Structure 1
Amino acid sequence: MHYMYDIVRKCKQLVKLYVPYIANDRLLEEIGNCCTRLQILDISGETDITEIGIDLLAKGVCSQSLTVVDVGMPGEENICYSDIALILEHCPQVETLSTYSFVGASLKFIHDNVDDRFKCRLKYIHDTGTDEATLQVIMQTCPRLETLYLDSPKTGSLRALSTRNLRKLKIYKFVVAELLPLLERPIGRNLRHLTMIKGLGNLELGKLARLCPSLIDLDCYMIDSLSYGAGHAKFQQLEGLEILSSAILTSSLKAFLCNSTDLKRLAVDTVEFTDDDIMSMFMQHDFKVLEDVWFTLAPELTVQSVELLMDSCPELQSVGQLNGWSLTPDDLALIRGLLKSGNSSIRLQ
């Protein structure tokens, strides 16, 4: 490591420094002493960092220039939240702590023990086990917050989410019935990206479209059930849709896709569509910008569906995962021959 210390001492104009898994207190001391222009620092992973090193870094010459500090390990509090609070307290330009997933506890520590009027520039926060009081502190201390990842929030905590500026929300282990009332507020109208993982209950996609009309990307992973009815509200700007390990009736999925013709990216792990379903959807509706179609398991779809997608989607770039479709080696050879003869760049996966 002494070579690394020398490098840091000699490279005083460093703007970016990536040293994951190897950082220690001595290295943080050298950074704090020498790197006056440092903006991005990656000291993530399992390291020997302690409060001593964090304090030397946070109060060092880079404290006014740091904007990104990647620290810690996902889901593991290998660095205490009170140590991370030192960075937030003394490095006023920091916008994200990247990997660290207990930011709420750090903010609450500052609010409760240092300054109850504290504000910071954080734009991204990842927090775990968030309760209502912690989420209230996040809202109070982070007026510029744009992206929020809540991992296993406590029951009832979501009602404290009140920001109008949020553009991306990712939520893991939650109750659908608690999320929807939250989205009825201005936060829902302003959201552009929504990722939901392990949602308990039924999510009605038409209601979601009404509450979040500006969504560009929607990801649904391991939701108990999804539903959608013909004539329900539709997303006006949705470009990316991914549904994995979430129960949804074929009729609901078909109706939803027919009302989402501006999609660029479509991924569903298991579909029971037949060739006739694909024909009715893609012949009767214009998917003029669709670029990627991914059905992991589609046992009823044959070469006919592949050809139809190729013919009806002018921007199509990739189709997959064809080993989960009802295709023979001869079918694949035929399609590849057609693509080659037509000088097409479509990828079969």
Structure 2
Amino acid sequence: MSPKNQVTSLKTFCLKTITNKLIYSLSDDEGTNYEVVANYISPTTFEVLQDLLKIILNSVNLDANIRFNCLQLLLREDVRKLDTGMFPQFYYQKILNVISSRGSGLQHLNLKGVWARDFPYLLSQLVRSLRGLKTLLIPHMADDAVIEAILTLEELVVLDISGEACFTVDGITKLKSQTLQVLDVGMFGKLSICHQENNGPDLIAELIEYLPNLISLRTYSYSGRALLKCYQKYPRSRTKLKYIHDTGTTEEIIGCVLNLCPDLENLHLDGAEHGVLEKLAKLQKLYTLKLTKCDVQEFLTFLSLSGARMQVLKLNHNKNISLDLSQICLFAPNLQTLECYQMKLTFTNLDTYFMSLVNVEITYCDMSDDIIRSIMTNSPFLRRIVIGSIIRMTDGDIFRICAECDFYNLEELWFSCAKSLTVTSVELLMGHCKNLKSIGQLNGWDVNVDEIDYLRAVIAFTNTDLKLLYVENV
């Protein structure tokens, strides 16, 4: 049987209670309770204030005015982390002013829900006022003045200025930092990073040079070309990069990557040319690999050399040649996560096992139900399985799979399109998998709303920790 709900922790209960009281007290437009509430929370630690802000600001169904009132009240000079959440346009300027006046102690600021791009001067002044920031997330918002403000942040570690750029070539080339380790810049699939130039790799190469402690260059899809520029300029230099994403990788580019990035742990290659994948075996620290439009045979050759190091594999867009998952079993015994999207899959050797696999996600792939059955029965430590392809299994198939395996570790099971499975399979999985906490998407099964409502009532009555995900068609 699925696990029982645990007793709510005292911390969670108190936070929920105080949150409800705050929302009720600050829900009037006149602000009659503002001073009383302010005095009540004045001795509160910043950790509690952060937790309250996180709950309230992420409550999307809560009126924006109440959320803003809570932000005004709870944001204090010693609060270290703030994620603003989504707000209507009317509140953008007000929120920036509140953070500027009350958020001097912030170390983490995420403005993704506030379109600060409409107020570049305020955003620049805000950044300058937060001297202790270590994480700043402002995609689509940074212009040259904001870049200059960012230069004043002496402890910045993570910066997100990705998306449609407002900065110029001169502006972005001023970005220099000894502390910055993670940078999001540019847009997926685009070579340029700002409107005025057509040679994004040159600019990225300069950023790599100016950011000596950079370990992750995210979002930008042509990092290999930038590293080639770096190699041509400084062939004996080394970077600290642990993650890059490259498109159309050539043998020349991968050679430069191997020389400049010996610490690479996570790599995403899109449309790599023939001969590239085999060379990845030289990356001794690589354990996460994402491949789009890869050569299947060359990929298996790489696995035969370096598969023991692989913990995460994500494979996309190749239905021309079948990929035998049992080969991955043999070559990658320590694999923990496997994701396949638009692939053609087989499983020929039923005597192979994924002895470390915990997470499987397969969507829009050409495969038979036998592959799903093989993955489930040959992965003894499986925790999560998501299948977004058409499944023709019946209740009898689920019964036989459960009879064969105990699924002690299984927590999430999502079959998006399984029209032959009924409420019988739901009840069987509920009763058989003792740690199962989520079953979905049941609107793709042969079940109706009344059956789901009944099962949810049983779950509530028996205090079972299980969610049945069902979205009614509108």
Q: TM-score range by the shorter chain?
A: over 0.9
Structure 2 CA distance, aligned partners of 1:157 and 1:117? 21
More divergent stretch after superposition (307-316 vs 2-11): 2-11
Structure 2 CA distance, aligned partners of 1:190 and 1:215? 8
Change (3 A) 1:336 1:228: farther
More divergent stretch after superposition (102-111 vs 4-13): 4-13
Tell me if the contact between 1:228 and 1:255 (Cα under 8 Å) persists in the aligned partners: no
Unaligned runs of 5+ in 2: 1-119, 194-199, 470-474
CA deviation after TM superposition for structure 1 residue 28, in Å: 1.7
Tell me if the contact between 1:229 and 1:256 (Cα under 8 Å) persists in the aligned partners: no
The answer for the alignment partner of 2:412 in structure 1 is 292
User: For each residue in 1:182-240, what CA deviation from the matched residue of structure 2 results, as whole angstroms up to 9, or x when unmatched?
Assistant: 11112x11111101001241111111111111011101111123333422x11111001
Is structure 2 residue 188 aligned with structure 1 residue 66? no
Is structure 2 residue 383 aligned with structure 1 residue 264? yes
More divergent stretch after superposition (94-103 vs 20-29): 20-29
Change (3 A) 1:337 1:12: closer
Is structure 2 residue 326 aligned with structure 1 residue 206? yes
Tell me if the contact between 1:102 and 1:128 (Cα under 8 Å) persists in the aligned partners: yes
CA deviation after TM superposition for structure 1 residue 7, in Å: 2.9
The answer for the alignment partner of 2:231 in structure 1 is 111
What letter matches 1:155 in structure 2? H
Unaligned runs of 5+ in 1: none
Structure 1 CA distance, aligned partners of 2:341 and 2:408? 26
The answer for the alignment partner of 1:40 in structure 2 is 158
Tell me if the contact between 1:70 and 1:97 (Cα under 8 Å) persists in the aligned partners: yes
What letter matches 2:396 in structure 1? D
Tell me if the contact between 1:147 and 1:166 (Cα under 8 Å) persists in the aligned partners: yes
Q: Find the partner of 1:279 among 399, 409, 415.
A: 399
Tell me if the contact between 1:283 and 1:312 (Cα under 8 Å) persists in the aligned partners: no
Is structure 2 residue 168 aligned with structure 1 residue 54? no
Structure 2 CA distance, aligned partners of 1:268 and 1:228? 19
Tell me if the contact between 2:325 and 2:345 (Cα under 8 Å) persists in the aligned partners: no
The secondary structure found in structure 2 opposite 1:224 is strand
Change (3 A) 1:211 1:326: same
Q: Find the partner of 1:151 among 246, 270, 273.
A: 270
Tell me if the contact between 1:37 and 1:65 (Cα under 8 Å) persists in the aligned partners: yes
What letter matches 2:183 in structure 1? V
Tell me if the contact between 1:191 and 1:212 (Cα under 8 Å) persists in the aligned partners: yes
What letter matches 1:69 in structure 2? L
Structure 2 CA distance, aligned partners of 1:223 and 1:244? 8
Structure 2 CA distance, aligned partners of 1:204 and 1:20? 40
CA deviation after TM superposition for structure 1 residue 48, in Å: 2.8
Q: Find the partner of 1:244 among 354, 360, 363.
A: 363
The answer for the alignment partner of 1:177 in structure 2 is 297
What letter matches 1:85 in structure 2? A
What letter matches 1:70 in structure 2? D
CA deviation after TM superposition for structure 1 residue 156, in Å: 2.8
CA deviation after TM superposition for structure 1 residue 14, in Å: 2.8
Structure 2 CA distance, aligned partners of 1:251 and 1:45? 42
Q: Find the partner of 1:75 among 167, 189, 197.
A: 189
The secondary structure found in structure 2 opposite 1:52 is helix
CA deviation after TM superposition for structure 1 residue 287, in Å: 0.3
Structure 1 CA distance, aligned partners of 2:170 and 2:207? 12
User: For each residue in 1:237-290, what CA deviation from the matched residue of structure 2 results, as whole angstroms up to 9, or x when unmatched?
Assistant: 100111111122223332332111321001112211111111111122110010
CA RMSD across the alignment: 1.6
Q: Find the partner of 2:456 among 333, 336, 343.
A: 336
CA deviation after TM superposition for structure 1 residue 2, in Å: 2.2
The secondary structure found in structure 2 opposite 1:316 is coil
Once the two structures are superposed, the pairs formed by residues 304-343 of structure 1 within 5 Å of their partners are: 304-343=424-463
| Aligned residue pair count | 341
Structure 2 CA distance, aligned partners of 1:193 and 1:344? 32
What letter matches 1:57 in structure 2? L
What letter matches 2:158 in structure 1? I
Tell me if the contact between 2:291 and 2:316 (Cα under 8 Å) persists in the aligned partners: yes
State the identity %. Answer: 35
Greater C-alpha Rg = 2
Change (3 A) 1:300 1:8: closer
Structure 2 CA distance, aligned partners of 1:85 and 1:314? 52
The secondary structure found in structure 2 opposite 1:154 is coil
Structure 1 CA distance, aligned partners of 2:288 and 2:190? 23
CA deviation after TM superposition for structure 1 residue 178, in Å: 1.6
The secondary structure found in structure 1 opposite 2:465 is coil
What letter matches 2:189 in structure 1? G
Tell me if the contact between 2:316 and 2:343 (Cα under 8 Å) persists in the aligned partners: yes
Q: Normalized against structure 1, the TM-score is what?
A: 0.93
Structure 2 CA distance, aligned partners of 1:8 and 1:322? 46
What letter matches 2:272 in structure 1? P
The secondary structure found in structure 1 opposite 2:346 is strand
Structure 2 CA distance, aligned partners of 1:338 and 1:31? 54
The secondary structure found in structure 2 opposite 1:222 is strand
The answer for the alignment partner of 1:228 in structure 2 is 348
CA deviation after TM superposition for structure 1 residue 8, in Å: 3.4
Structure 1 CA distance, aligned partners of 2:308 and 2:375? 20
The secondary structure found in structure 1 opposite 2:174 is helix
Change (3 A) 1:342 1:44: same
Once the two structures are superposed, the pairs formed by residues 188-207 of structure 1 within 5 Å of their partners are: 188-199=307-318, 200-207=320-327
